Amino acid sequence: MAKPQVFDGTLGKVTGLITACKLYIRIKMRGVVVEEQIQWILSYMQEESVDIWKENILKDLEGGLLEYETVGKFLADIRKEFEGRDEEIVKVAELKRIEQGGKTLEKFIQEFRKAVRGSRYKGRPLVKEFKRDINEMIY
């Protein structure tokens, strides 16, 4: 039985994560308390905005502010959180993730322009994002 792949918040990967978790839990984690099942699922949620969401969920669970009777309800919340995201939000997150790194400036600009399409960034905020993402040596 394969474990789920690491989930990075990508829109198209939500259903795969949920299906893999349901199957694995039904086969391998039957009888395990809900809290442990949730922690196991959270261990597969990594990368950028997913990490922030995961940390907030963990704080709420540990603080007693949030409780799940079943792992199914938790998975439903994951679906609602990550499938319900607006395309604009996804584009903004993508824009914030890219960096020039070892790419040429020309290649980076192409990537940056592609990420900007559909985001809400315009004018000064867009210039600020661009400057943040390029290598410091350039400006």
- pLDDT tens per residue, range 74-120: 999 998 888 766 666 767 777 777 788 888 888 888 888 877 776 66
Q: Locate 8 and state its tokens.
A: 């990075």
pTM for the full predicted model:
0.59
Q: Locate 137 and state its tokens.
A: 């040596």
Rounded CA-CA distance 110/34 in Å is: 46
> What does DSSP assign to residue 43?
T
Tell me the average pLDDT across 50-58.
86
> What does DSSP assign to residue 35?
H
Predicted confidence at residue 38, as pLDDT, reads 95
DSSP-assigned beta bridge partners for residue 7? 45
Continuous H helices in 29-121 = 34-42, 48-62, 71-83, 87-97, 105-116
